[in-house]
Structure 1
Amino acid sequence: MSNRNEFGITHLRHVDLAVPDYDTQRSFYKDTWGLTETGTDGDLSYLATEGSPEQYVIRLRKAAEKRLDLISFGAEDDAAVDALAARLAAAGVTIVAAPDQLQTAGGGYGFRFFDVDGRTIEISSGVQTRRHRAVEEGEAIPVRISHAVMNSDDINRTREFYETHLGFKLTDSLWGQHMGEMMHFMRCNDWHHSLALAKGPHTSVHHVSFEMRGLDEYMRGTGRVMRAGIRKVWGPGRHMAGNNTFSYFLDPSGNTMEYTTELERLETDQWHPSVYDIADPMTQDQWGTADPMSELIAKESFNDKDRGVFVAPPV
């Protein structure tokens, strides 16, 4: 069985955020969310998960305006990076940084481009790994970055871009009678999704998700963040699509962050995508422990209109 991406994309590496409240955000991710700061470089902070070999999973950049700087995905090797860059350029996709040695933590070889909504996407190979460890029983810190969900005002156009140009596959979708298709779950490996596209009023970050060791660690982490006074958006509960648990919180800049665990891994290439009706309460939360999904909850993750659309980050 293989769910290998046809263009050599392997996994989600990291999500980079620009924030005006830099010191507050650093404190939140280190002291409350459970990430490890592996280094700083001027106004940059690199934050890793203890259970992952990635150099970092969140990069914070001090900036006057909040924005998504970029989303980074790994590639099999340098040849895959070069081939994908050439393919995208030939298709008229705007390349904002040609394949070259990367200058951020861990180095590597990669390039950057704008997706159809104007997000900066990085594809890289050969990034140095870091010493990591097994997260222990009862240790309520993230093991790895799980997935990133992005808002788009045309999720079918965005889905087609990622399918056509990056080889992502549709796993499942959410649908509502009055709103039509609400979310597409996309995969580049055997995880149910590494990227998802949510219907929103504008391009922005919907949420970034972090995998916990198990259910007990997931609940302990959820409780710790609640006790710290961080605003909880939704959860705890368990979704139908992906079968994963969820607890959503707002970071100090208003970006939604999620603790999750037990995200489904696909066991066959012949996956048949399902369309789940959001009117069915089991779709949103199989446990029935979270508040029912409502327009007010949904709006929490619309986020601010991204100031970085079609503007490459400075670093």
Structure 2
Amino acid sequence: MSSVSLKQAVPNERKHQRRAAVMTGNGLISAVGYLSLQTKDLTGVIRNATDVLGLYETDTTSKKSYLAAQAAHHEIIYSAGDHDAVDHIGLVAKDSEALGIIREKVSRAKYRVIAEQPLDEAVGQGFAFVGPEGFTWQVYTEAASYSLVKNGGFGPDRFGHVNIQVIDTIAQRDFLVEVLGFRVSDRIGHDQAFFLRCNNDHHGIAVFKSSRAVLHHHAWQTQSIVDLGRLGDRLARRGSRLAWGPVRHGAGDNIAAYYVEPTGAVIELYTDLEMIFDPEREARLWAEDDLYWINQWDGQVPPGILDHGIPPLQR
């Protein structure tokens, strides 16, 4: 993306909240619970997750590592594999009734169910299916823990959201809204991008238009912009660099910093995300060439930053 002159700033609707996501409205999903990735370099990604990002291992085997930022069994899972790929994305259903409704919607839409039981340990009732463009979703009823109890040391407070790139953003948006009950918070152009929420967080899933289907980044909430600077320091001491940021986005208003993990996916550390407490809050529409939506401060996007990502596992 090239630099474009910024247009007049829209009013800042940010609410300064440093609290865990809470369900709002009558949605079916209460949280984006966790992410499961396969990797060719399990040792490298664990070292990155613990030494750079600041997660801690809650359970591990020779082929799998469960990690979290808070008092939870896992918020991300890394498994050894032949390819770097997205295994599945875990979504917490509001309750067992919501789980049943989603299961019925998945059947009516004829998505392929690959498991009638959870794919992972420490997950309650649930099922997994393959959605649009090959992404696998696991929906389950176990409540997410947002105690924000840290294990000491540094690191984020909790897992926040994912950003996926797809060929057909309209179809992906419709799937997330109609099958899973998400709401659109911000829309970029006609179909360039959608930011969708399932609770008070401005977005739990962002969908960007691309020529391929990939997970671009997974994002983790922290307390302060100071933590973003310290992330940059840790990377520099290891001979690496931030890929972008700190930057303040327009859609979501969060301040964020990005770097590339060993899988090839991007990790975002962010703070100050907009919280939405009105379930009927209408989506904001941004012109695609008004780069205030992606960078409030200077409208710049580093060359190549959107080219990173890893594909969904082929099933």
Q: Report the TM range for the smaller structure's normalisation.
A: 0.7 to 0.9
Is 2:89 aligned against 1:71? yes
**Aligned CA distance change for structure 1 residues 59 and 269 (closer, same or farther; 3 Å):** same
d(CA) in 1 for partners of 2:78, 2:24: 32
Matched with 1:308 is 313
- Greater RCO between the two (CA within 8 Å, min separation 6)? 2
One-letter code aligned to 2:279: D
Aligned partner of 2:73 among 41, 51, 55: 55
Matched with 2:19 is none
Q: CA deviation at 1:4?
A: 2.9
Q: CA deviation at 1:78?
A: 2.9
What secondary structure sits across from 2:227 in the alignment?
Answer: helix
> C-alpha deviations, 1:51-98, integer Å up to 9, x for none?
x34321110000011110000011123333233212311331211111
d(CA) in 2 for partners of 1:35, 1:218: 15
> C-alpha deviations, 1:255-278, integer Å up to 9, x for none?
111010111111212312112235
Is 2:255 aligned against 1:245? yes
**Aligned CA distance change for structure 1 residues 87 and 298 (closer, same or farther; 3 Å):** closer
Q: CA deviation at 1:128?
A: 8.3
Identical-residue share of aligned pairs (%): 24
d(CA) in 1 for partners of 2:182, 2:108: 19
Is 2:170 aligned against 1:165? no
CA contact (8 A) 1:44 1:62 kept: yes
d(CA) in 1 for partners of 2:102, 2:247: 38
d(CA) in 1 for partners of 2:271, 2:44: 27
Matched with 2:8 is none
Is 2:27 aligned against 1:6? yes
One-letter code aligned to 1:196: A
TM, length-normalised to structure 2 = 0.85
One-letter code aligned to 1:173: R
Matched with 2:46 is 26
**Aligned CA distance change for structure 1 residues 107 and 183 (closer, same or farther; 3 Å):** same
CA contact (8 A) 1:152 1:201 kept: yes
One-letter code aligned to 2:66: Y
Matched with 1:273 is 283
What stretches of structure 1 of length at least 5 have no aligned partner? none
Aligned partner of 2:304 among 289, 296, 301: 296
Q: CA deviation at 1:130?
A: 9.5
**Aligned CA distance change for structure 1 residues 174 and 83 (closer, same or farther; 3 Å):** closer
d(CA) in 2 for partners of 1:119, 1:47: 21
Matched with 2:163 is 149
d(CA) in 2 for partners of 1:183, 1:65: 27
**Aligned CA distance change for structure 1 residues 221 and 140 (closer, same or farther; 3 Å):** farther
**Aligned CA distance change for structure 1 residues 198 and 128 (closer, same or farther; 3 Å):** closer
What stretches of structure 2 of length at least 5 have no aligned partner? 1-21
Aligned partner of 2:295 among 285, 288, 294: 285
d(CA) in 1 for partners of 2:222, 2:104: 37
Q: CA deviation at 1:203?
A: 0.8
**Aligned CA distance change for structure 1 residues 297 and 254 (closer, same or farther; 3 Å):** same
One-letter code aligned to 1:147: H
d(CA) in 2 for partners of 1:164, 1:103: 24
Aligned partner of 1:115 among 105, 108, 131: 131
d(CA) in 2 for partners of 1:6, 1:131: 22
Equivalences, count = 294
CA contact (8 A) 1:145 1:211 kept: yes
Aligned partner of 2:99 among 71, 76, 81: 81
d(CA) in 2 for partners of 1:131, 1:183: 32
CA-atom RMSD, angstroms?
A: 2.4
**Aligned CA distance change for structure 1 residues 208 and 298 (closer, same or farther; 3 Å):** same
Q: State which drifts further: 103-112 or 234-243.
A: 103-112
**Aligned CA distance change for structure 1 residues 5 and 135 (closer, same or farther; 3 Å):** farther
What secondary structure sits across from 2:133 in the alignment?
Answer: coil
Q: CA deviation at 1:33?
A: 1.1
> C-alpha deviations, 1:115-153, integer Å up to 9, x for none?
1111110011136859861588xx641100111011101
